[in-house]
Structure 1
Amino acid sequence: MAYPGQGFPGAGQPPPVGPYPGGPYGGGPPPGPYGQPPPGGPYGGPYGGAAPGGNAPPGVDPEAFSWFQTVDTDHSGFISVKELKQALVNNNWSSFNDETCLLMINMFDKTRTGRIDVHGFSALLRFIQQWRSLFQQYDRDQSGSISFSELQQAFSQMGYNLSPQFSQLLLARYSQRSPNPSIQLDRFIHICMQLQSLTDAFREKDTALLGNIRLSYEDFLAMVVTRML
């Protein structure tokens, strides 16, 4: 049995890039790793000021280094969840949610301190750009968010054979409250990362690759607790 999600960013080959001709993305992917924040914002660099100077460490892209200096507001040499949240925005200008920021920090935190250094931050920027490209591909109406039908189609193309009822459950859990619920980029990343993590955990138990397993109640709890926030 082939399991879905192996083409996700951070899980092997990056997804193909499919920019849009217009819509909320302005004729292609938004510039910079954080989308298109309002001009004159508080962050410096492309946000309305000059980023601090200095040379990038070996192996770190100079642009990523400039962004790192800008986001590292306390000049500690590390990026915390709070600092990352202040820097990342969705297409509707809302900040990334805490849970997604924590998931991404943990993914690139090699020191297990709850923060990432400049090397981890550089890798995180590439990771976010890949997810934004994937998000754009599934946002077929170019609205800047993922609707129920687009989410269902996205799961299908990723290889997940999930029912409409399950997709509706995810939409209700992760969408912003509005007359037409939809998923922003941060929640899309969150959903897909957790689906991939739980799929990996399931596959470890499914040694015969049958697509079903038998679990004790405690095994089930352990699987969920160790893979999700």
Structure 2
Amino acid sequence: MDIRMWKNVFKTYDRDESGFLSTLELRMALNSAGYRVNSNILRTLVLRYGKKTQMGFEEFLICTVKLKSMIESFLEKDPRQTGCANFTLEEWVEKTMYN
């Protein structure tokens, strides 16, 4: 997705037009882009990239780029050679979030 598309996603799910996504709004925005994350990862994303319990547009962009990169990296790995077979996608995201 390009920046315009992410901006439209952000605006669509910023239901109260506050300029921030709440945790619930973030979950819906990520789901609409095909990113299904569990509650633990969602909380971690907000803590890492947002401000307490919400996330502005710039942080949302950074978060989605990082999340996309982590997921693509996981999917590109050959689990027989890298040990990724020992991780689920959720565990991979949790473990690589701060790298």
User: One fold, TM greater than 0.5?
Assistant: yes
For the aligned residue pairs, the C-alpha RMSD in angstroms reads 2.6
SS of 1:183's partner is: strand
1:204–1:148 Cα change, 3 Å: same
Conservation of the 8 A alpha-carbon contact between 2:9 and 2:29: no
Paired residue for 2:19, among 144, 162, 173?
144
Paired residue for 1:161, among 13, 19, 36?
36
After the TM superposition, which parts of structure 1 deviate over 4 Å for at least 4 consecutive aligned residues? none
Shift of 1:170: 1.2
Shift of 1:131: 2.7
Higher Rg of the two aligned structures: 1
Shift of 1:151: 0.9
Counting matched residue pairs gives 87
1:159–1:206 Cα change, 3 Å: farther
| Structure 1 residue 214 corresponds to structure 2 residue 59 | no
User: Whose strand proportion is higher, 1 or 2?
Assistant: 2
Q: Aligned partners of 2:5 and 2:35: how far apart in 1? A: 19
1:161–1:132 Cα change, 3 Å: closer
Task: Point out where structure 2 has 5 or more consecutive residues left out of the alignment.
Answer: 87-91
Task: Point out where structure 1 has 5 or more consecutive residues left out of the alignment.
Answer: 1-7, 10-126, 208-212
User: Whose helix proportion is higher, 1 or 2?
Assistant: 2
Shift of 1:160: 2.0
Residues 22-52 of structure 1, C-alpha deviations (whole Å, 9 max, x = no match): xxxxxxxxxxxxxxxxxxxxxxxxxxxxxxx
Shift of 1:194: 0.6
SS of 1:146's partner is: strand
Shift of 1:206: 5.3
Paired residue for 1:203, among 55, 62, 75?
75
Q: How does 1:48-197 map to 2 (within 5 A)?
A: 127=3, 129-177=4-52, 181-197=53-69
1:204–1:174 Cα change, 3 Å: same
The alignment's TM-score, normalised by the length of structure 2, stands at 0.71
Name the aligned partner's letter for residue 85 of structure 2: R
Conservation of the 8 A alpha-carbon contact between 2:10 and 2:29: no
Residues 121-178 of structure 1, C-alpha deviations (whole Å, 9 max, x = no match): xxxxxx3x3332221012122221100111111222222221112111111222225x
Q: Aligned partners of 2:72 and 2:41: how far apart in 1? A: 19
**Percent identity of paired positions between Structure 1 and Structure 2:** 28
